[in-house]
Structure 1
């Protein structure tokens, strides 16, 4: 495993290209996409969505609708320059491409690009190609938009660990053009001899023999990250350990300022909570990077994106939207919401609930669980829900 010897998360040229890509006509009306027929194509225009949208609370003048239904275990999202939405999943073995063919603001076509995969949670799109992360490998569908009806893939790299505990992966391309790939801890809490566990790595997908480089250590399980469009810095969510009670430790929003930083796991949690089992094996808390924001215990923050569009009010510019998937072992459930948090430089503050209602507080029963967020070209926001098997679309219209 190769280490980064210097700060290399951001290259000047990469930032320029990244920021240039963000300058797009966010107010353009949705354009229909013509797609080829094939055995893998399904019409989902009238697909059933068992959701309770009347329960979802949003800020004034925002609206939520089902953009696509019949997307089993919809997890990570990626989008092409013309609006093809790619969807991975964790509990299923398929990857989908979902399309709004008639431009009416709702998807009506679903392609099954592959099945029989091993937890294909992560999807990323670059230069016409789709990249998918399984537990131990990265695969690539070349020229995917022109091959939706007859997709095939090649293996880019297959040397990641095969452990399935936290083995599902979120992936995304950074401003430097490299593909960033986390490797979760193979346990709730443990100290592994293999340095690649509990890390974020990156690879050069254009290399004939990619070699993972470790970007960040001490990352228990991140299933979402993005880059600040103003600074090019990487930010990521991290899920805190279990079995320390209802309120400890907090899940985290972290900020990477240089390569090779250590974010505390398994020795310290939320910056100041020493682990009862492994804390004495590490250094003092000051040896590790504390979170930029604490996101609540057991809330399971997953997908996160910086908002760059123009549809939402100006106050949301450069805010981070975070999908909190929700707790599984807390006596009173937490999470099951979408939040926004303001980021300025190295500071993250003012977290607010943006969308809530997937959890009925009285009965403690949930009918949906948000997973990932993805901005569309018009500035609207997609939210995946692996429990309801749908993708929502949030729009804003001033009255």
Structure 2
């Protein structure tokens, strides 16, 4: 072999090794969590679901797939820095950790972290610890990533009301490091005796004796909130009351600008609709904070997030994406969609449908109900569905 040939071979081997190394590094990054077998670990790579993805309509160049199946009653999601997706549920007693270990864009592993909880709808992740919101308490799984095989929890606070009507929790950490926990009204419409009802509270989980502080009042039932990445302000969805007809009142998207604000319940709905039973007991509508956007009657807006990723087109940057779970007592069903809104300061406008198709409009039958949305590190969007028991993944690829 001549000198030039030897150089060519050497260069070829070097390029191959470099390419292989890059591929391995990319693979290693995608597989940042490798787990051991244990009694609470389940392989779900072959799990199937009866979903109708062909019915889902998205904007051009978007695609939806099932990211994880066999996630019964999948509700709120929280994601660790290395991609572990924690999932709560409302109708069962379990909390899951779901992982894509081989980096193929679909989950293949599910850990059951607990199976003795009371409506563990809410999950939040901070500094390596997983927090779960039950009806009356907040629990914590310390250093959860390193304890998936043998998860144990401690009680952080157990003094929230025990009423289950709107008692399930959506929880999340704010920019101040505190855990925000809503306490829904224990009724469709009433003037609760205890101040903590119909509120959003916040809890200092690092305190040796945490005590809820009421952060927002007059909030009937919030099951979704997030913070504007530009301003740090909190935004939340709120479910309107029932039994006032098909089209009244609207569910709401609200904007909090300071602690202690009152958003109207039970006296006023959607800012201008006076409650027929309790309206005369409150002050004028001007005493309360009107919604930033009206989302439609009975649509049941739940999880919402500001989109901060780079996968979707630039117009989605910092938009709010909301999961509308869908109506239960409207003569013609509403909701069962994802929508997006533009947020600028205190303004939320230009609501558009982002994903539709879970409801067969003609038959008035739903096969799925979106609950929460969360963003993966690559900018793709996860959507939980408590009816179909799956988590979807929405991706975008320009053509």
Please report the TM-score for the alignment, with normalisation by the length of structure 1.
0.93
SS of structure 1 residue aligned to 2:75? coil
SS of structure 2 residue aligned to 1:145? helix
SS of structure 1 residue aligned to 2:45? coil
Aligned to 1:280: 280
Residue 37 of structure 1, CA deviation: 1.3
Unaligned segments of structure 1, at least 5 residues: 1-27
Q: Structure 1, residues 31-53: CA drift from partner, whole Å, max 9, x if none?
A: 11201211000000010111000
Q: Structure 1, residues 360-380: CA drift from partner, whole Å, max 9, x if none?
A: 000000000000000000000
**Distance across 2 between alignment mates of 1:139 and 1:176:** 20
Aligned to 1:369: 369
Aligned to 1:308: 308
Structure 1 segments (4+ residues) deviating >4 Å = none
Residue 116 of structure 1, CA deviation: 1.6
Q: Aligned pair 1:331/2:331, yes or no? A: yes
Aligned to 2:357: 357
**Distance across 2 between alignment mates of 1:190 and 1:281:** 11
**Distance across 1 between alignment mates of 2:382 and 2:181:** 22
Please report the TM-score for the alignment, with normalisation by the length of structure 2.
0.93
**Distance across 1 between alignment mates of 2:178 and 2:216:** 15
Q: Aligned pair 1:293/2:263, yes or no? A: no
Residue 193 of structure 1, CA deviation: 1.5
Aligned to 2:19: none
Aligned CA RMSD, in angstroms, stands at 0.7
Aligned to 1:397: 397
- The structure number with the bigger radius of gyration is 2
Q: Aligned pair 1:124/2:124, yes or no? A: yes
Q: Structure 1, residues 227-251: CA drift from partner, whole Å, max 9, x if none?
A: 0000000000000000000000000
The count of corresponding residues between Structure 1 and Structure 2 is 372
**Distance across 2 between alignment mates of 1:355 and 1:36:** 36
SS of structure 1 residue aligned to 2:351? strand
Unaligned segments of structure 2, at least 5 residues: 1-25
Q: After superposition, where does 1:78-93 map in structure 2 within 5 Å? A: 78-93=78-93
Residue 324 of structure 1, CA deviation: 0.1
Q: After superposition, where does 1:210-289 map in structure 2 within 5 Å? A: 210-289=210-289
Aligned to 1:157: 157
Q: Aligned pair 1:182/2:182, yes or no? A: yes
SS of structure 2 residue aligned to 1:343? strand
Aligned to 1:31: 30
**Distance across 1 between alignment mates of 2:53 and 2:84:** 24
**Distance across 2 between alignment mates of 1:91 and 1:232:** 33
Aligned to 1:342: 342
**Distance across 2 between alignment mates of 1:109 and 1:211:** 36
Residue 396 of structure 1, CA deviation: 0.2
Residue 126 of structure 1, CA deviation: 0.2
**Distance across 2 between alignment mates of 1:142 and 1:38:** 19
Higher relative contact order (CA 8 A, sep 6+): 1
Aligned to 1:208: 208
SS of structure 2 residue aligned to 1:280? helix
Residue 345 of structure 1, CA deviation: 0.4
Residue 300 of structure 1, CA deviation: 0.1
**Distance across 2 between alignment mates of 1:285 and 1:115:** 45
- The structure with the greater share of residues assigned to helix is 2
Q: Structure 1, residues 283-341: CA drift from partner, whole Å, max 9, x if none?
A: 00000000000000000000000000000000000000000000000000000000000
**Distance across 2 between alignment mates of 1:44 and 1:193:** 46
